[in-house]
Amino acid sequence: MKTKSLIVFMLSILCSNMTTKANTNEKENGKNDPTKTDWEEISQSAVLLSFLVEPAFDSPYGFCMIEKNGEHFLITKIIDNWEEVNKQMQDEFPTSSINLFEMDTISQAEKDRSGAFNKIQRQKRAEKALTLYNEAIKKYPINKEEAKELYFRFVSFIDQYKKTDLPKNDAVSEGDTIELTFDDGFGITISYTKDNTTKSVSEREINLSEGFKELYEKCQNIMENL
Which parts of this chain interact with another protein (CB under 8 A)? 1-4, 7, 54, 56-57, 90, 95-101, 103, 111-112, 114-116, 118-119, 122, 167, 169-185, 204, 206
Cβ at position 211, least distance to another protein in Å: 22
Task: Give dist(CA 207, CA 51) in Å, integer.
Answer: 17
Question: How many other CB atoms are found less than 10 A from the CB of residue 102?
Answer: 10
| Cα distance between the two ends of the chain | 27
CB of 37 or CB of 81, closer to another protein: 81
The strand order across the sheet containing 20-23 reads 20-23, 197-204, 187-194, 47-54, 61-68, 71-79, 135-142
Closest-CA residue to 189 (of 219, 210, 162): 219
Q: Are 140 and 76 in contact (CB under 8 A)?
A: yes
CB of 151 or CB of 212, closer to another protein: 212
CB of 117 or CB of 152, closer to another protein: 117
Task: Give dist(CA 175, CA 3) in Å, integer.
Answer: 32
CB of 31 or CB of 119, closer to another protein: 119
Cα angle value 44/46/47 (rounded, 5°): 125
CB of 114 or CB of 197, closer to another protein: 114
Cβ at position 181, least distance to another protein in Å: 4
Cβ at position 221, least distance to another protein in Å: 23
Residue 57, SS3? coil
Task: Give dist(CA 223, CA 135) in Å, integer.
Answer: 16
Cβ at position 125, least distance to another protein in Å: 9
CB of 178 or CB of 226, closer to another protein: 178
Cβ at position 101, least distance to another protein in Å: 6
Residue 47, SS3? strand
Cβ at position 84, least distance to another protein in Å: 15
